[in-house]
Amino acid sequence: MPIFEYKVIDVKGKTHAGVIDAENAPAARQKLRVAQKFPVSVVEVKDDVSTGSVGRRSAGNLFARVKPAEIAATTRQLATLLGTGFQLVAALDVLIPQTKTAALKKALARIKDALGEGQSFARALEQFPGIFSPLYINMVRAGESSGTLEIILERLADISENQVALHERIKTTLAYPLFVSFFGLLVLVVLMLFVVPSITSIFADLDRALPLPTRMLLFTSALFTRYWWLIGMGLAGLFFILQAAGNTNRGKLYRDRTMLQLPVIGTLIRKLAIARFSRTLGSLLENGVALLTALGTVKNITGNVIIAQAVQSAADEVEKGAGLGKALLASPVFPDLAIQMISVGEQSGNLETMLGKIADIFEKEVEGQLLRAVSLLEPVMIILIGSLVGFIVLSICLPIFEMSQLVK
Q: How confident is the model at residue 108 (pLDDT cuts 50, 70, 90)?
A: confident
Burial class (CB in 10 A: 0-12, 13-18, 19+), 291: middle
| Residue pair 101/66 in contact by the 8 Å Cβ criterion | yes
Q: How confident is the model at residue 206 (pLDDT cuts 50, 70, 90)?
A: low
Give the chain's domains with CATH numbers.
150-408 (1.20.81.30)
Percent of the chain with pLDDT over 70: 89
Q: What are phi and psi of 51, to 5 degrees?
A: -80, -10
Q: pLDDT for 209-253, tens place per residue?
A: 778 888 888 888 888 888 878 888 988 898 888 888 777 878 888
Q: pLDDT for 308-318, tens place per residue?
A: 888 889 889 88
Give CA–CA dist 321/327, Å, rounded. Answer: 10
Give the CA distances from residue 364 to residues 202, 212, 299, 318, 357, in Å, rounded to whole numbers and listed in that order: 57, 50, 22, 29, 11
Q: pLDDT for 329-359, tens place per residue?
A: 888 888 888 899 999 998 888 888 899 899 8
Q: What is the CB-side half-sphere exposure of residue 114 using CA atoms within 13 A?
A: 17
* Residues 130-141 as b or e (16 or more Cβ within 10 Å = b): bbbbbbbbbbbb
Q: pLDDT for 36-85, tens place per residue?
A: 787 878 777 665 444 444 333 333 343 346 888 888 888 889 989 888 88
Calculate mean pLDDT across residues 391-407: 75
Give CA–CA dist 133/153, Å, rounded. Answer: 14
